[in-house]
Amino acid sequence: MGVIVQKFGGTSVADAEKIHRAARRAIRAKLEGKQVVMVVSAMGKTTDKLVALAQDVSPHPPKREMDMLLTTGEQVTIALMAMAIHSVGHEAISFTGGQVGMITDASHSKARIKKIDADRIREHLDAGRIAIVAGFQGITEDGAITTLGRGGSDTTAVALAAALNAEVCEIYTDVDGVYTTDPRIVPQARKLDTISYDEMLEMASLGAGVMHSRAIEFGKKYNVPIHVRSSLTDANGTMILAETSDMEEIVVRGAALKRDLARVVLRGVPNKMGVAAQVFARIAKHNIMVDDIIQNVYREHNIANIGFTTNASEAMEAQAVCDDLARELGIESVELDEKVAKVSVVGIGMKTHSGVAAKMFNALAEAKVNIENISTSEIVISCIVRLDDAEKALQTIHDVFELDK
């Protein structure tokens, strides 16, 4: 009998009625002959409330205790979900991450899954029960409770689907699928029927917040088809799948905008061997995220400018670290620019089609959007633009690649 994993996010289990609706969905799949595993998040904004509560008690709570606290949110949902299913005469059993053998490393608040003991669930599935598993949590080899990072229930679901060799992992959420771009900015954005793992990974890292990146990585590694769909309707959502050759016919699948960026530029850097290494080693030591890096050399190769983009939230720290470096290495000045954004197009078809970059740059020029930096990979082209131009830029590239068609 085929296994199906259904994951319900916080908004899809926010109250008793929604819990019943999710329960009916699982029961229906069961009656259609599937073995059903449900993975659930904490109800509504529970996790945020728990985080706020911790802040009220202590400004720097130990990470181990944060994990202990946050995992209670999901534990509430699993129990209620099992009760909902029982109340309508079906068999269900709930499990914490630890009970289901979700073994992780010990990095509290961002633990990585090491292995899953799927046999424990299988036993119950074979006995005809719906298994309900708490998302977002695991346990270390020594029995400490861990969490997988915010949004981590997606990862629990896909990892379980992989371990159980499920036919599909369904992600039920409050949107009806993955869109060509953010419909709140571009009203013509269109729901995609399919997207490849690689495209979805890029879209996620470029700012499309549909799913936890780690979940998509799991899906790709173990080839788990992921169906992102609405918990309110029966309409099909978006399938995230391994790429097929006909997927390459579509050159650009989607466009993304990342707004919370900042750029740091070190001007007048002595162009000597090892300087860039020293700069980025120091930045890495402070765990500051570095996105695109640009270096230009001038004055007969003696001097360089090195710029990089980072998350807006890390900009001040990045600047402080660079100010120190400037003093130590004889760098002329450090500049911080917080008014930048990045627009990107993503598509595996770019591997086999040319002219995408020219078309994008041309459209931006016609829209009078200045491009301040360009970076590319096999399936992505990104431009740094002024923050004020960001929405116009996104609309422009969505139009020029006819993503609404």
Could you say which of ligand ASP, Mg ion, none residue 77 binds, taking C-beta under 5 to 8 angstroms by partner kind?
none
Query: What DSSP string runs through 38-55?
Result: EEE--STTHHHHHHHHHH
State the Cα–Cα distance between residues 193 and 176, nearest whole angstrom.
Answer: 11
Could you say which of ligand ASP, Mg ion, none residue 395 binds, taking C-beta under 5 to 8 angstroms by partner kind?
none
Could you say which of ligand ASP, Mg ion, none residue 386 binds, taking C-beta under 5 to 8 angstroms by partner kind?
none
Q: Does 135 sit near Mg ion (CB under 5 A)?
A: no
Q: Does 9 sit near Mg ion (CB under 5 A)?
A: yes
Could you say which of ligand ASP, Mg ion, none residue 237 binds, taking C-beta under 5 to 8 angstroms by partner kind?
none
For 336, residues 6+ apart whose C-beta sits below 8 A from its C-beta are: 262, 263, 264, 315, 316, 318, 319
The token pair at 191 is 């729901």
CA geometry: angle 390, 217, 173, nearest 5 deg: 65
Tell me the three-class secondary structure of 188-237, residue by residue. CCCECCEEEHHHHHHHHHCCCCCCCHHHHHHHHHHCCCEEEEECCCCCCC
Taking the complex as a whole, the smallest distance from the CB of residue 135 to ligand ASP amounts, in Å, to 5
State the Cα–Cα distance between residues 265 and 30, nearest whole angstrom.
Answer: 57
Query: Closest CB to ligand ASP among 73 and 207?
Result: 73
Could you say which of ligand ASP, Mg ion, none residue 47 binds, taking C-beta under 5 to 8 angstroms by partner kind?
ligand ASP
Q: Does 151 sit near Mg ion (CB under 5 A)?
A: yes
For 158, residues 6+ apart whose C-beta sits below 8 A from its C-beta are: 5, 169, 215, 216, 218, 219, 222, 224, 226
Query: Closest CB to ligand ASP among 46 and 180?
Result: 46
Taking the complex as a whole, the smallest distance from the CB of residue 156 to Mg ion amounts, in Å, to 11
Which positions lie near ligand ASP, rule CB under 6 A?
9-10, 41-42, 47, 73, 135-136, 150-153
Taking the complex as a whole, the smallest distance from the CB of residue 12 to ligand ASP amounts, in Å, to 10
Query: Closest CB to Mg ion among 9 and 207?
Result: 9
Stretch that binds Mg ion, among 148-156, 300-308, 351-359, 370-378 (CB under 5 A): 148-156
Stretch that binds Mg ion, among 3-11, 275-283, 296-304, 335-343 (CB under 5 A): 3-11
For 381, residues 6+ apart whose C-beta sits below 8 A from its C-beta are: 344, 345, 350, 356, 357, 360, 374, 375
Return residues touching Mg ion (CB under 5 A): 9, 151
